[in-house]
């Protein structure tokens, strides 16, 4: 990563909300955006972990403009409180927070399956309620996954209990989030707002630049991980496609960005291909209606 002094200070005056900003890909989005001058709202379930992330960012960028926005995307009540408290214009939202593994019986506070409820429905509810605060040219970036290609969304069964493998449910939750973003962009067609998707590729902690208080990786494991660098990348580099989608002039509504290398595992940001299912207007409209029913929130985009 470039030293902070060499980073362009090109995001002054922009406010960007990053969910799940206290760790992993979300942390690196927050740090790199702050270094470039953005005001970053760290949407985090754990305030303590968010404070640790703020400390790590300030250590790299002492003048970073940061604010912690407590929000648990698995709780509609928490989302409503965060939406009511936001109180400022937001230029971009990176919908990153998510549950990667969960027991089949795991549920959100409101009843839906934990993965779908957090990864998709939580972001749906959050965006629906912060609409009055979104800038006229706001961007929404939904963080997708390579796993979306192997998933079926089935909007009518969105809130039904899940009986399959955890990885398949993760892919389904990400596919739903991506489908929602593409549908949101279609509904914003007559405005200057835009929505798109991005994914981090195959990003792992042992190849990630260390930060105090974040994921600790033993030195021997880091040394061994160097052998995998031709094929995978650190989470610091995995954040690049997300940041590009949120800030680059060339990024457009309906885009899907990811690493441009082999199998999209690593590499510089490039436009990549999303499945026909997540791009389907029919599925997008059905999913939107199912999300409104599951959350009890009407989203007037």
**pLDDT tens digits for the chain (301 residues)?**
444 445 678 999 999 999 999 999 999 999 999 999 999 999 999 999 999 999 999 999 999 999 999 999 999 999 999 999 999 999 999 999 998 877 777 888 898 888 999 999 999 999 999 999 999 999 999 999 999 999 999 999 887 777 788 888 999 999 999 999 999 999 999 999 999 999 999 999 999 999 988 888 998 899 888 889 899 999 999 999 999 999 999 999 999 999 999 999 999 999 999 999 999 999 999 999 999 999 999 999 8
> What pLDDT, on a 0 to 100 scale, did the predictor assign at position 2?
45
Structure tokens given for 44: 């985090």
- Does some domain include residue 301? no
Residue 228 lies in a domain: no
- In a domain? residue 218: no
Considering the domain boundaries, does residue 227 fall inside one? no
Whole-number Å distance between alpha carbons of 209 and 222: 10
- Nearest residue to 208 via CA among 217, 198, 196, 200: 217
Kindly write down the DSSP assignment for every residue of 215-273, as one continuous string: ----HHHHHHHGGGTTT-EEHHHHTHHHHHHHH-TT--TT-EEEE-SGGGSSSSEEE-P
Q: Which domain, by its residues, includes 199?
A: 4-203+239-295
Task: Evaluate whether residue 125 is within a structural domain.
Answer: yes
Burial of 222 (0-12, 13-18, 19+ CB in 10 A): middle
- Inside any domain, residue 220: no
Distance in angstroms (rounded) separating the CA atoms of residues 112 and 131: 23
Catalytic residue among 27, 170, 202, 256: 170
CATH number of the CATH domain containing 286? 3.40.50.720
The structural domain count of the chain equals 1
The pair of three-digit structure tokens given for residue 210, joined into one six-digit string: 């260390």
Q: Does the annotation mark 170 as catalytic? A: yes
Provide the strand spans (E) within the chain.
15-19, 39-44, 65-70, 90-95, 134-143, 194-198, 203-204, 233-234, 256-259, 269-271
Quote the longest CA-to-CA distance of the chain.
54
Is 196 a member of any domain? yes
All residues at 6 or more sequence positions from 178 whose CB lies less than 8 Å from its CB, including other chains: 142, 144, 148, 197, 256, 274, 278
For residue 161, the model assigns a pLDDT of 78
Residue 63 lies in a domain: yes
Strand pairing report for 90-95 and 65-70: unpaired
């Amino acid at each position: 990563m470039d030293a902070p002094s060499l980073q362009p200070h090109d995001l002054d005056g922009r406010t960007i909300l990053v969910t799940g900003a206290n760790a992993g890909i979300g942390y690196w989005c927050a740090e790199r955006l702050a270094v470039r001058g953005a005001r970053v709202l760290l949407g985090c379930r754990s305030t303590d972990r968010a404070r640790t992330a703020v400390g790590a960012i300030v250590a790299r960028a002492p003048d970073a403009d940061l604010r912690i926005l407590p929000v648990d995307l698995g709780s509609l009540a928490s989302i409503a409180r965060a939406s009511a408290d936001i109180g400022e214009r937001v230029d971009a939202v990176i919908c990153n927070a998510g549950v990667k593994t969960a027991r089949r019986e795991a549920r959100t506070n409101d009843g839906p399956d934990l993965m779908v409820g957090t990864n998709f429905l939580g972001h749906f509810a959050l965006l629906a309620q912060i609409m009055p605060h979104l800038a006229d040219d706001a961007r929404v970036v939904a963080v997708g996954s390579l796993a979306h290609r192997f998933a079926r969304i089935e909007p009518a069964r969105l809130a039904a209990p899940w009986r399959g493998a955890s990885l398949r449910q993760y892919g389904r939750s990400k596919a739903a989030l991506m489908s929602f973003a593409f549908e949101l962009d279609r509904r914003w067609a007559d405005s200057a707002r835009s929505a798109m998707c991005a994914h981090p590729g195959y990003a792992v902690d042992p190849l990630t630049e260390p930060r105090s208080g974040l994921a600790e990786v033993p030195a021997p494991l880091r040394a061994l991980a160097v052998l995998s660098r031709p094929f995978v990348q650190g989470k610091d580099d995995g954040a690049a496609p997300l940041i590009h989608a949120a800030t680059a002039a060339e990024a457009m509504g309906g885009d899907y960005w990811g690493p441009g290398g082999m199998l999209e595992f690593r590499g510089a940001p490039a436009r990549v291909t999303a499945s026909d299912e997540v791009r389907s207007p029919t599925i997008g409209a059905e999913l939107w209606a199912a999300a409104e029913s599951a959350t009890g929130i009407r989203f007037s985009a």
